[in-house]
């Protein structure tokens, strides 16, 4: 099982898509282990997007991510990172396939609704940036036996 970070960006919150987006992850079988409505401090946004610091879009991205409330979500499941990224769709809503979050709700190349960790290393770093350890719950949903084949040595 792996855990990933999802951020529902200010545009997703402002447009009222929080419930619909979280539902997609739950319906797919990913488990909520952390969820909170917050605003991102400028220093946190700068740290989170530091790999893009030299890119021309960086100042606008930091400004956007601190412009209003966001919802940060920790999701757990087998292959959670790849599954979440597939559900999100291509980065730009104008290019995202129908059936994906960005494909169904987005048209902008600047406002793309959602962020998801792109690797286990990024997920670990990002989860630590947005959640305290005690805010991530360790629990087993009763539906887990019906989501994964649990008869072998590892869930499938």
Q: Which residues are catalytic?
A: 115
Per-residue tokens: 10: 């200010």
DSSP-based helix, strand, coil % in the chain, nearest 5: 40, 15, 40
CA separation for the pair 7, 18 (Å, rounded): 10
How are strands ordered across the β-sheet holding 70-77?
31-38, 70-77, 2-8, 114-116
């Amino acid at each position: 099982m792996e855990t990933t970070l999802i951020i529902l960006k200010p545009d997703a919150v402002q447009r009222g898509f929080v419930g619909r987006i979280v539902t997609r992850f739950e319906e797919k079988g990913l488990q909520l282990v952390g969820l909170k409505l917050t605003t991102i401090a400028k220093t946190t946004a700068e740290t989170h997007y530091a790999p893009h610091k030299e890119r021309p879009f960086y100042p606008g991205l930091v400004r956007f991510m601190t412009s209003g409330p966001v919802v940060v979500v920790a999701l757990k499941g087998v292959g959670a990172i790849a599954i979440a990224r597939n559900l999100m769709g291509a980065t730009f809503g104008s290019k995202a396939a129908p059936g994906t979050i960005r494909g169904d709700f987005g048209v902008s190349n600047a406002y793309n609704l959602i962020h998801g960790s792109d690797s286990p290393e990024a997920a670990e770093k990002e989860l630590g940036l947005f959640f305290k350890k005690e805010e991530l719950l360790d629990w087993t949903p009763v539906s887990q036996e019906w989501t994964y084949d649990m008869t072998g040595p590892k869930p499938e």
